[in-house]
Amino acid sequence: MNYWPLIGIAWVVGGFALRMNPALVVVSAGLVTGIAAGDSLAATLETMGEAFTKLRYLVLFVLTLPVIGLLERHGLRERAQAWIGRLRGATTSRLLIVYLGMRQTISALGLHSLGGHPQTVRPLLAPMAEAAAETRHGPLDDDQRARIKAMSAATDNVGLFFGEDIFIAFSGVLLMHGFLAEQGVDIEPLHIALWAIPTAVCAFLIHGARLLRMEQRLAREAAALAAGAMRR
């Protein structure tokens, strides 16, 4: 058995550890794996191209990256930050709670691609959340910025994960229906989807409470910083 193709795993781990561009790491890892397996560069590129054309969501992903990159280069993040900074009543928790509700709703309708990390969280949601925090609590340090970015990504994950279960044609719902049918339990996919609604409501409330707690922590840290500056 040829174990050299496993070097692609080490390539991905090393690239992420060095905080390199994720898309570059993944694509280059595919090339390294193919060459390590004994394929030529042309054959490896051909295999990757066939996979991209057969899986439509990968094609959409490839098209999304340059579009988002072009928008960011022309000031998308800065525009989003400036816009949210002009809203006096905007806070990080309110912004993320509204997005959480929207993400759950559109996911429940089967529109999973309308949100996501590359096309929404990184270029729009996270910068807007940071701008709202700066407007409300003043300048942020690196730890606070990292915390807000992480919570923005988590908000998208929670909204998608607990919203898509409500969609009757979601693959997870159909998987549960098929498994239960094999075990002799006759239940319609509609009933499975309906019973996902209480779980989605609980997820919304729990994560909303986490967002409010994060807002309170930012306020405490800002107050402590201001008090320290006054004592000096």
8 vs 83, more confident: 8
The tens digit of pLDDT for each residue in 102-136 reads 999 999 988 877 778 877 888 788 888 988 888 88
> Residues 165, 196: contact at Cβ < 8 Å?
yes
Quote the mean pLDDT of the chain: 82
Residue 87 has pLDDT above 70, yes or no: no
Please state which of the ranges 26-35, 169-178, 205-214 shows the lowest mean pLDDT.
169-178
H-run or E-run covering 223 = helix 189-231
Q: Choose the most confident range, by mean pLDDT, from 14-28, 46-60, 207-221.
A: 207-221
Q: How confident is the model at residue 45 (pLDDT cuts 50, 70, 90)?
A: confident
Residue 71 has pLDDT above 60, yes or no: no
- Give the residue from 99, 60, 105, 53 showing the smallest Cα distance to 80: 99
49 vs 138, more confident: 138
- Structure tokens given for 54: 């057969």
pTM of the model: 0.66
pLDDT at 115: 79
Residue 99 has pLDDT above 90, yes or no: yes
In angstroms, the CA 154 to CA 168 distance is 24
User: C-alpha distances in angstroms, 24 versus 10, 19, 29, 37, 65?
Assistant: 15, 11, 8, 20, 11
